[in-house]
Structure 1
Amino acid sequence: MQVAVVGSGPSGVYTAQSLLQQDAVPGLRVDVLDRLPCPYGLVRYGVAPDHEKIKSLQNNLRAVLEHERVRFFGGVEIGPRALSPGRLLGMYHAVVYCVGAATDRRLGVPGEDLPGSWSATEFVSWYSAHPDVPVRGAGPPDRFVRGVESAVVIGVGNVAVDVARMLARGAAELLPTDIPHEALDVLARSRVREVHMVGRRGPSQARFTTKELRELGSLPDTEILVDPAELALDPAYLDPSGLPAAGRRNVEVLRGWAGRPERGLARRIRLRFFLRPVAVLDAAGRAGGVRFERTLPAGSGSVTGSGTYEDIRGQLVLRSVGYRGVPLDGLPFDGGTGTVPHAAGRVLREGAVSPGEYVAGWIKRGPTGVIGTNRPCAKETALSLLADAPALALRDVPGDPLTALRAAGTEPVEWPGWLAIERAEADLGRSLGRGPVKIPDWPGLLSAARGGAYGTAE
């Protein structure tokens, strides 16, 4: 039996692992397909470069992708201009889509599209060397931080903490990481001295984890500033006894920072709460900050507007208010939830199960949870597929899907090609006097996958 898993991030790899661990179908084989030539999804392209411990999860994912009954095929795009879901299903007994949530939620406020106003994901992709967000060549490579002294980050989740930390971190601290050299050079010349991280609700509803929050307080030459009067607007901050353990820990950390006097350090991160964005300010055709409305608690974690406003000035605005799934042409899609309709992972078309089609990860449940949340989600889908296996195995499919993929005009980057990319990134790092450094562009990745040196023509 041949199964395709579309997406090589944690949800896709955990799905492949669950299919094999159950050992319910002898000889079952899994091909893990990805649009990019590199595996690991957001572990490679979403985890900040200074989070080496989390990035080491790649070693666990690697062990699955190197299983004797698993193959990795990178550079395989599913969609209307490439390989359609219907055609892909004709090559496999079953297909599991683990394509994540590919876009950001928008603020829906005037000025959001001004130059200098970006989604946090674009910034993350830039310093993580995602090939869709070039570090050079498409406009000024330092478009994110050129001329920026103050930045406004809208959101109080872990991604917001990541981008605030990267804006405040010194280049010397990033040198040992795999951040692309071009991004490192830009951040080394950054003049950012103040970062405002702003949430519309109170500290007890903030979505960051305590570990990430504490990390801000350990940044060299950076002070964390919190207004105790603003924190006190939150009843659960005043009495955190009813909060979950994680919320109580966050409150404890914020109490320790509240009311600290400014010490005049080189950089400042200001944590703000109960402020809702109503407009990105226009400063001569560019983002010049954000106008916020003061909010007040309205019970059950909700807030209401107060009718008073505050402008926070900054030359860079990054929104980090969540992700959203996007439709994949050929699959049903619920625009309200940003997910594919399903029953225990089985894709539903007009309310009926579509035989052989499955989903796992964010495209199944929405962009919630942490990396580990994908394990039970993937297992549920895998168990549904394995329960359907006797009927699915009766379908007539090609002997080797790789032959069919090539016949469809696709030339996948197989595992040896990925290993060649790894070697090229190690070579690139050595040439720069660093450890492995990510190759940040499509031509470089494809050249490396085919045995060429980084920087040569595709």
Structure 2
Amino acid sequence: MTKLRLAIVGAGPAGIYAADILLKAERNFEVSIDLFDQLPAPYGLVRYGVAPDHPRIKGIITALRGVLDSGDIRVFGNVRFGVDITLDDLKKHYNAVIFSTGAVKDADLKIPGADLEGSYGAADFVSWFDGHPDVPRTWPLEAKEIAVIGNGNVALDVARMLVKHADDLLPTEIPENVYAGLSASPVTDVHIFGRRGPTSVKFTPLELRELGELRDVDMILHDEDFDYDDAARDAVKSNKQVFVIDKVLNQWRQRETGSASRRLHLHFFAKPLEVVDDGTGRVDAFRWERTKRDGAGGVVGTGEIREIPVQAVYRAVGYFGSELPDVPFDKKRGVIPNREGQVLRRDPEAGTGLFNQQMYGVYATGWIKRGPVGLIGHTKSDAMETIRHLINDLGNWWRPESPSEESIVALLDERGVKYTGLDGWHNLDQHELALGEASGRTRIKVVPREEMVTISRAE
């Protein structure tokens, strides 16, 4: 019987779902799957992109762990694609590869002052408070007044983590260095800015509700943002999610304010114009243009310019994928170009510059396939589409010269790669749980990469 040796690069939900769907799919060949990740621990953005006070979403790890613990998938953590293994290496040892490397960089916000000192990308901040091993241990939390630009779930996560009292995060898996940093923050006011109105936001009701549950934080809204037109009223009536969001926001408008030590301000109809320089290269203010509904579901500028003093700005306007060595990349969209998961490259003979030629043996799934939109659950349908093509492309798989399962282990050992396996993750997992138990907490994350590797490898 034919056997598929499959490499998956990226051990987050997208990669693990793809492996699980392939193992359960109807097929007339055997399967052997190796999952690679540059981090010593698996689970990708569930571990390093979801705020620590979101245990419900963190609970997805339980399902993902069940897939890995089934015994049908090998895990190689702390392996960097393009450095420790290359595309040529994969061709020598596998029949195909699926890239599920996600999107971890911040999308650009193209306004003056976006690169001033004190202006930060949300992705970097999320990596810091989630204990990502490849970011600095400290974060400059020196601002009393902060602007967060964006109206999606990430913007709400960032704002919530900035304004929430650090002691209220102690029941979570927050790393010690993050707790220390947030404890010393002098923040009093966090302002969230979105270009559109309250009925056009991108965040979900659950994320929004959590903001209103913060201790000792006043929610500040502005009546001018709630002068709805017919289109906005129709959106509230016809869309359940919009109805719930509208209900929550209007409940907050009725609250008494003035007694809390911190305030969270929601500003709608605000088009970013400039991060204002204080004259020394640091953030001094945020400037925006007031917008209004255009009657067709969008907004237009009113010409009214407003400004508010802030000492820090967080840009939460989306994520962007990263280019991989020897793999086609669409620099405009930040994705691996593909047709339903089948990776496409430029046809050198066509001379058009278009990605229109299938790159056999190479596939993509998750955010690096479709862009950073949708929730974690959407990666399942993504993976099903990709796996369907992988199975049907059997005749075009690579024909590796050394397909044995031992050969890739020998290669990594020969190169001195300190890879971490599934047993290693169990070691690290138990260690973090023990650290948490000793402090009366669920878990305390180990942050330094070297320490993660040492614990995982029981060295």
Q: Same fold (TM over 0.5)?
A: yes
Deviations 1:173-205 (A, max 9, x none): 211111001111221222212110110111121
Is the CA contact 1:325–1:338 (under 8 Å) kept in the aligned structure 2?
yes
Match in the other structure for 1:438: 445
Residues 1:306 and 1:157: Cα distance change in structure 2 (over 3 Å): same
Match in the other structure for 2:153: 158
The Cα shift of 1:26 comes to 4.1
1:369 to 366, 374, 378: 374
The answer to whether the aligner puts 1:102 opposite 2:104 as a matched pair is yes
Alignment of 1:186-265 (within 5 A): 186-232=181-227, 235-241=230-236, 243-258=238-253, 260-265=255-260
The Cα shift of 1:324 comes to 1.2
Distance in 2, matches of 1:9 and 1:337, equals: 21
The Cα shift of 1:390 comes to 4.8
Is the CA contact 1:293–1:310 (under 8 Å) kept in the aligned structure 2?
yes
Amino acid at match of 2:104: A
Match in the other structure for 1:346: 342
Distance in 1, matches of 2:269 and 2:91, equals: 48
The Cα shift of 1:160 comes to 0.8
Match in the other structure for 2:68: 65
Residues 1:8 and 1:25: Cα distance change in structure 2 (over 3 Å): farther
Alignment of 1:54-453 (within 5 A): 54-79=57-82, 81-135=83-137, 141-143=138-140, 145-146=141-142, 148-232=143-227, 235-241=230-236, 243-258=238-253, 260-283=255-278, 284-350=280-346, 351-392=356-397, 395-400=400-405, 401-452=408-459
The Cα shift of 1:409 comes to 4.8
Distance in 2, matches of 1:124 and 1:396, equals: 42
The worse-fitting range, judged by mean Cα deviation, of 270-279 and 222-231 is 222-231
Is the CA contact 1:225–1:260 (under 8 Å) kept in the aligned structure 2?
no
Is the CA contact 1:225–1:259 (under 8 Å) kept in the aligned structure 2?
no
Is the CA contact 2:231–2:295 (under 8 Å) kept in the aligned structure 1?
no
Is the CA contact 2:236–2:242 (under 8 Å) kept in the aligned structure 1?
no
Deviations 1:424-449 (A, max 9, x none): 22333345443320011212212212
The Cα shift of 1:289 comes to 2.6
The Cα shift of 1:234 comes to 5.8
The runs of 5 or more residues in structure 2 that have no matched partner are 347-355
Residues 1:397 and 1:387: Cα distance change in structure 2 (over 3 Å): farther
Distance in 1, matches of 2:99 and 2:167, equals: 40
Secondary structure of the structure 1 residue equivalent to 2:377: helix
Deviations 1:268-320 (A, max 9, x none): 11111111111111224321231111122224332222222111222221110
Distance in 1, matches of 2:312 and 2:31, equals: 50
Residues 1:391 and 1:279: Cα distance change in structure 2 (over 3 Å): closer
Residues 1:159 and 1:246: Cα distance change in structure 2 (over 3 Å): same
Is the CA contact 1:233–1:296 (under 8 Å) kept in the aligned structure 2?
no
Q: What is the aligned-residue RMSD (CA, Å)?
A: 1.9
Is the CA contact 1:275–1:294 (under 8 Å) kept in the aligned structure 2?
yes
Is the CA contact 2:128–2:139 (under 8 Å) kept in the aligned structure 1?
no
Is the CA contact 1:236–1:243 (under 8 Å) kept in the aligned structure 2?
no
Distance in 2, matches of 1:56 and 1:314, equals: 36
Amino acid at match of 2:315: R
TM-score by length of 1: 0.92
Distance in 1, matches of 2:300 and 2:287, equals: 16
Distance in 1, matches of 2:295 and 2:103, equals: 30
TM-score by length of 2: 0.92
Match in the other structure for 2:352: none
The runs of 5 or more residues in structure 1 that have no matched partner are 136-140, 453-458
Distance in 1, matches of 2:358 and 2:374, equals: 26
Alignment of 1:12-23 (within 5 A): 12-23=15-26
Amino acid at match of 1:419: H
Is the CA contact 1:413–1:449 (under 8 Å) kept in the aligned structure 2?
yes
The answer to whether the aligner puts 1:31 opposite 2:34 as a matched pair is yes
Distance in 2, matches of 1:221 and 1:288, equals: 26
Residues 1:389 and 1:304: Cα distance change in structure 2 (over 3 Å): same
Is the CA contact 1:236–1:242 (under 8 Å) kept in the aligned structure 2?
no
Deviations 1:369-391 (A, max 9, x none): 10100000001101111112354
Amino acid at match of 1:315: Q
Deviations 1:93-148 (A, max 9, x none): 1100001112111111121111211011111111100011122xxxxx241x12x2
Amino acid at match of 1:353: Q
Secondary structure of the structure 2 residue equivalent to 1:28: strand
